[in-house]
Structure 1
Amino acid sequence: MVAPLSAWPWENLGIFKYLLVGPLAAKVLHSWIYEGTIKDLWCLHVLLICGLRGLIHQLWSSYSNMLFLTRTRRIIQQGVDFKQIDREWDWDNFIILQALLASMACLIFPSLDGLPLWNTKGIITLLLLHVAVSEPLYYWAHRFLLHESYLFTNYHSLHHSSPVPHPFTAGHATFLEHLILCVVIGIPMAGSILMGCGSITMVYGYVSTFDFLRCLGHSNVEVVPHEIFNKLPLLRYFLYTPTYHSLHHTEMETNFCLFMPLFDAVGNTLNRNSWQLHQKISLDSAKNGRVPDFVFLAHGVDITSSMHVPFVFRSFSSIPFSTRIFLLPFWPFAFTIMLAMWAWSKAFVLTFYNLRGYLHQTWIVPRFGFQYFLPFAMDGINKRIEEAILRADRIGVKVISLAALNKNEALNGGGTLFVEKHPELKVRVVHGNTLTAAVILNEIPKDVEEVFLTGATSKLGRAIALYLCRRRVRVLMLTLSTERFQKIQREAPVDCQNYLVQVTKYQAAQHCKTWVVGKWITPREQSWAPSGTHFHQFVVPPILAFRRDCTYGDLAAMRLPDDVEGLGSCEYTMERGVVHACHAGGVVHQLEGWTHHEVGAIDVDRIDLVWEAAMKHGLKPVSST
């Protein structure tokens, strides 16, 4: 049994909760279309303010998740995980609540529709009411009501359940708590209007400033320079900082104020470490901060998938990527950003998480899939990858793993180019394909006697073929190059070489039900597979699931161990907590403390060794879960 007024009245409506403000939009559209003018302007203003408030929170969320800008200014280093994202999914409930209350006020007091655009007296009155009424009222309610045992347990503890402050945390609270906040934000505006000095600018300005400061305090990024408080000491009592408010989430008996620490000073609840910690974080922002032990160097796939990064839509990035209709209006903007990133090419920090005390980060080279296949772009791409490797080496990263196209054989020989060019590298460069091969091979049933392999002479194809032939599995290697086939065949043990068979047409596999696809195949080429075939694959992008009478495996992937902390975004189309096998290969390389580079051809003798190391550290193949 939940406490009264703790749950939101529309919490079971899901996305349909936005229909609660639908009548306002309907009234605006009706009067605009059928009457040629918008009579009840208050409806339009309420809708615009709702949109403005949502935008303010979204922009703050984007900024706080831009780790390439904020990494050294973060107060709590831990990332926002999936549990917190799910808890805060309906953070915008308060916007709907205040929109409904504002609509009721406008219906009760029709004169609100005739407010002037500007009134200086109203601005002054509002500021006085905020300082004299709202600030002390919030301080008192926050300290003596919401932190009282019963009310805290049943109401305010929800807000404090978020371990890492985030702009969306500002709106994450119970229904009762936001009713109290409605009174706090409503008194200055209502008082100014009732005194006859209200204005439209006052309403827009106060609401947006209120939300801006709330997001500022919950941003977990220290943006207020400490020098300003050194020059103007009194200012520290009239403007809180993200550091100041974060202390309330870690030491809950201090720093209760709304925006002005003055009331904490008067109430003797001001945390004595507030200014020192703020200064320390501000000064340390010029340093690199904690250096990650492992970096995964990713790349974009296409324009639409680029909007799956956490600093665009946090909730969207927390679920596996799929093309959504709501993304289409943003496509031109994303395309423009892509051009800017292409011109200003540096590696950006996207995500970070902790695994057994080791900090792991994902950097992205601002290049998209199609760019890797432009001959004139290859040198530029290699230059950006090289810069990222050298930067990782310079700051002390132990292992850097290259994503799919960043280690393309034709591009840089699977990373060999960089290792040979910089033999003094301390950072270990890893392509992770040894674990990718291990994942694919362990998906193939032990009793399989014949496998059809496309992309047979590629790095992964070669390793898979050599491994299978040692298991006495007949491998039909699709390749037109007899020379490359024979070179791979000569690498196999003499007594196993006859298990490697060169084929040049897909017709050769019309009786083979196990296909390992390393080169993109068309639906027509798939049609040669017999009914019941399973398509294992290591091709990017994945092949189309054309045959209904066949089954299709996903790209090689592994589930991260259960003790991963701070992971809050999905890797492309992968499920939560699942990463591509090459990413996992880099993780294992770092956890094992291996000191060799894993570049170039795959060492077939290490496939079982890497697989066993992955199992030891708690990684699991997705197919087994």
Structure 2
Amino acid sequence: MENKKREAPLFAWPWENLDNSKYFLYGPLVGKVLYAVYKQEINKNDVWCLHILILFALRALVHQLWSTYSNMLFLNRAHRINPQGVEFNQIDAEWHWDNFLILGAIMAWLSYLSFPFLGNLPMWDMRGILCCLILHLGISEPLYYWLHRLLHLPTLFEKYHWLHHSSKVTNPFTAGQGSLLEHLLLCLVIGIPTLGTAFIGYGSITLMYSYILVFDFLRCLGHSNVEVIAYHLFEAVPLLKYLIYTPTYHSLHHRDMGTNFCLFMPLYDKLWNTMNANSWDLHKEISSRTNSRVPDFVFLVHGVDVMSAMHAPFVFRSFSSIPFSIKPFLFPMWPYAFIVILVMWVKSKTFLFSFYYLRGGLHQTWVVPRFGFQYFLPFAAQGINDQIEDAILKADKIGVKVISLAALNKNEGLNGGGTHFTEKHPNLRVRVVHGNTLTAAVILNEIPKDVDQVFLTGATSKLGRAIALYLARRKVKVMMLTLSTERFLKIQKEAPPDCQEYLVQVTRYQAAKRCKTWIIGKWTTPREQYYAPSGTHFHQFVVPPIIPFRRDCTYGKLAAMKLPDDVKGLGSCEYKMGRGVVHACHAGGLVHLLEGWKHHEVGAINVDQIDVVWKASLRHGLKPS
């Protein structure tokens, strides 16, 4: 059905099949400017090409900055209009939101070829501001209004305008989501004030830049899904609400498509009786909010490094919607990201990172502004624990039911796997969960049932201990790599008497040269991997994962679970995980919430709970990744 809709004339973009190669269409403009600089002979044509490139780079920046703000949930979550997040399918549909920028560049060049006098425009002319404003208010605004209403006629809507309204949650990039015909009409709307002022004789380069950038700014504002205009402003100056629309006002057009057609001025909806009756009441309600919905579940994470910090949804939405990997475009941004990280360290406040809905409950990810290497600095331990404790107490205060600690936030040496907090605050209502029980369950269920021996590194860690005891109960021989006989014997004594013989201490990797099932819980070098026999499979729970050095062996991924199919609002990937996949400790916290368990899951893993948690996760629709 959608393909049939796309067959309408002037619906598809001419460069649609080029994918990201479409940016080569800017090549002639770039080449012309570079050649002129190289020859040091810059004429009017070259200057106009340079203006086109600068202007459309700035237009893209306006949209990106608005998208960044729109996704800064820690700043604007209370004033979000549609509380649902932008999902993967919408991000994919809007992936080429910037097609209209290429069209604009082409139209700007064609305008110059048709009207060469544009190359003689002065840098500034004050008279042009008033002239441009009159042309916009008197022609562009009403023209857009009626063109917009025409696009909502059943025939035209089904052929063209449906694409724009297919986005469930408005976003600054949604402003660029539309058919070729719609953006040709938009070029006409923009061209009347800019070219019209130039024809009258009052045009200027500054006016061209200012009008187009303000136009984009206001379009992004309307699609931002965050109310930024205070209702007190309209109460103080009532006429103002007819001269400038708000994000709430435009959002109502996406809910009730028979109302609020204006470009930027609700005056025209008022004149032609298409204003939504709920416009001002809803605006007052949203702009006056002070609190957002309390989440049922919080996953408390931390940064890994500067590069991965740029995987945040408020940096590049499209980049965060795919598993993290280092890309060339990240390197020039490294210094700026580092400065932001320094500011975060100074502020030292936990902030909201992302969210999604599952079974009607709101699930959020909060971030502690600390990065991997800091967790291994002895003098930083107290400060990190203070921030984690502050997040737990905040969650407890606002009514969060479960808070799950990710990765290093539950480090045994840092806070005893969370026991430090539950012992210090015995009356916590929020349940503190490390989620490692499900992590152990995922690893154990990856191991084939016919395996009779395994080699385990990180054997005396929290996860290593639980895995060893569980496998011993299954009568699987576990070669536990550890130099500490005392710690080994302590774990061995925890096993049932008839299972203790299956736990064997080894002190060298050479002991596993005939074992084809390795479980890696401690960083293993390529040299150490060399002792594994050909055909070995490396299961692992070490962070970061080991380097896949052996081509004659296979390597498992970190323990993870795929979220249920009914999850809503999810549009970012969790670090290197695929879409809809989360780390097992994250999933473990979800299961704790969905089961309604009232105990804290901190400290040592209860081996008896491993199967219980595994079965519960499957019952709630989570699947091994």
Place the TM-score, normalised by the shorter chain, in its bin. over 0.9
Q: Equivalent of 2:83, from 77, 85, 89?
A: 77
CA distance in 2 between partners of 1:375 and 1:119 (Å): 62
Distance 2:527 2:474 in 1: 31
> Whole-Å Cα distance in 2 between the matches of residues 612 and 485 of structure 1?
29
User: What is the CA–CA distance in structure 1 between the aligned matches of 2:117 and 2:186, rounded to whole Å?
Assistant: 25
| CA positional deviation for 1:183 | 0.6
Task: Give the match for residue 142 of structure 1.
Answer: 148
Name the structure 1 match of 2:181. 176
Is the CA contact 1:28–1:38 (under 8 Å) kept in the aligned structure 2? no
- Map of 1:59 onto structure 2: 65
What SS is found at the alignment partner of 2:123? coil
2:532 maps to 1:554: no
Q: Which secondary structure state, in structure 2, belongs to the residue aligned with residue 224 of structure 1? A: coil
**What letter corresponds to residue 281 of structure 1 in structure 2?**
I
- C-alpha distance in structure 2 between counterparts of 1:226 and 1:475, whole Å: 67
Aligned to 2:267: 262
Distance apart, 1:22 and its partner CA: 1.0
Aligned pair 1:121/2:112, yes or no? no
Matched residue type, 1:182: C
Name which of 468, 477, 487 aligns with 2:471.
468
Provide the TM-score with structure 2 as the length reference: 0.98
Once the two structures are TM-superposed, the CA of residue 38 in structure 1 deviates from its matched residue by 5.6
Q: Distance in 1 between matches of 2:194 and 2:171?
A: 27
Q: Deviations over 1:107-145 (max 9, x none)?
A: 2222111211111111111000000000000000101x1
CA distance in 2, matches of 1:255, 1:84: 23
User: Secondary structure, in 3 states, of the residue corresponding to 1:366?
Assistant: strand
The one of 315, 320, 323 aligned to 1:317:
320
Give runs of aligned pairs for residues 274-423 of structure 1, distance below 5 A.
Answer: 274-284=279-289, 286=290, 288-423=291-426
Return the alpha-carbon distance in structure 1 between the equivalents of residues 353 and 577 of structure 2. 16
**Aligned counterpart, 2:247:** 242
What pairs up with 1:435-514 in 2 under 5 angstroms?
Answer: 435-514=438-517
1:575, distance to aligned residue in structure 2 (A): 0.3
Q: Distance in 2 between matches of 1:395 and 1:176?
A: 49
Aligned-partner Cα distance in 2 for 1:262–1:53: 27
Match of 1:165 in 2: 170
The one-letter code of the counterpart of 1:273 is: N
**Equivalent position amino acid for 1:365 in 2:** V
Q: Secondary structure at the match of 1:475?
A: strand
Residues 460-506 of structure 1 show CA distances to partners (whole Å, capped at 9, x for unaligned) of 00000000000000000000000000000000000000000000000
Q: Which amino acid aligns with 2:404?
A: S
Equivalent AA in structure 2 for residue 210 of structure 1: F
Q: Secondary structure at the match of 2:414?
A: helix
- Does the residue aligned with 2:352 lie in a helix, a strand or coil? strand
Which letter maps to 1:621? P
Aligned pairs, how many? 619
Of 97, 106, 112, the match for 1:100: 106
* Structure 2: runs of 5+ lacking an equivalent: none
* Cα distance in 1, alignment partners of residues 428 and 42 from structure 2: 69
Give me the CA root mean square deviation.
0.7
User: What SS does the aligned partner of 1:234 have?
Assistant: helix
Paired AA for residue 505 in structure 2: Q
2:217 maps to 1:198:
no
Which letter maps to 1:290? R
2:158 is equivalent to residue 153 of structure 1: yes
Distance between the aligned counterparts of 2:543 and 2:219, measured in 1? Answer: 43
Q: Is the partner of 2:404 in helix, strand or coil?
A: strand
Q: CA–CA distance in 2 between the matches of 1:519 and 1:619?
A: 27
Deviation at 1:36, TM superposition (A): 4.8
1:154 deviates by: 1.2
User: Partners in 1 of 2:297 and 2:456 — Cα distance?
Assistant: 33
Q: Which moved more, 1:34-43 or 1:188-197?
A: 34-43
Letter of the 2:276 counterpart:
N
Q: Say which of 31, 49, 52 aligns to 2:36.
A: 31
| 2:534 pairs with 1:520 | no
Distance 1:380 1:601 in 2: 24
2:60 is equivalent to residue 42 of structure 1: no
- Where 2:17 maps in the other structure, the secondary structure is coil
DSSP 3-state at the match of 1:476: strand
1:10 to 9, 15, 26: 15
Partner residue in 2 for 1:20: 25
Identical aligned pairs, as a percentage?
70
Matched, 1:568 2:568: no
Shift of residue 340 of structure 1? 1.3
Quote the residue 2:616 is aligned against: 613
Quick check: 1:581 aligned with 2:584?
Answer: yes
1:137-163 per-position Cα deviation (integer Å, ceiling 9, x unaligned)? 0000101x1000011011101000001
SS of corresponding position for 2:458: coil
Q: Which runs of 5+ in 1 are unaligned?
A: none
In 1, the alpha carbon distance for the partners of 2:43 and 2:519 equals 63
Q: 1:88 touches 1:168 (CA, 8 Å); kept in 2? A: yes
CA contact (8 A) 1:32 1:38 kept: no
Residue 565 of structure 1 aligns to a residue whose secondary structure is coil
Report the residue type matching 2:382 in the other structure. D
Given that 1:294 and 1:399 are in contact with CA atoms closer than 8 Å, whether structure 2 keeps it comes out as yes
> What is the CA deviation profile of residues 289-325 of structure 1, one whole-angstrom value per residue up to 9, with x for unaligned ones?
2100000001111110000000000000000000000
The CA distance in 2 between the partners of 1:33 and 1:421, in whole Å, is: 69
CA drift at 1:509: 0.5
1:58 counterpart letter in structure 2 = Q
Whether the aligned pair in 2 keeps the contact of 1:67 and 1:349 (CA below 8 Å) is yes
Q: Distance in 1 between matches of 2:548 and 2:329?
A: 25
Q: Distance in 2 between matches of 1:130 and 1:239?
A: 13
Alignment partners' CA distance in 1, 2:531 and 2:609? 34
The TM-score, its normalising length taken from structure 1, stands at: 0.98
Please list every run of at least 4 consecutive aligned residues from structure 1 whose deviation after the TM superposition is greater than 6 angstroms. Answer: none
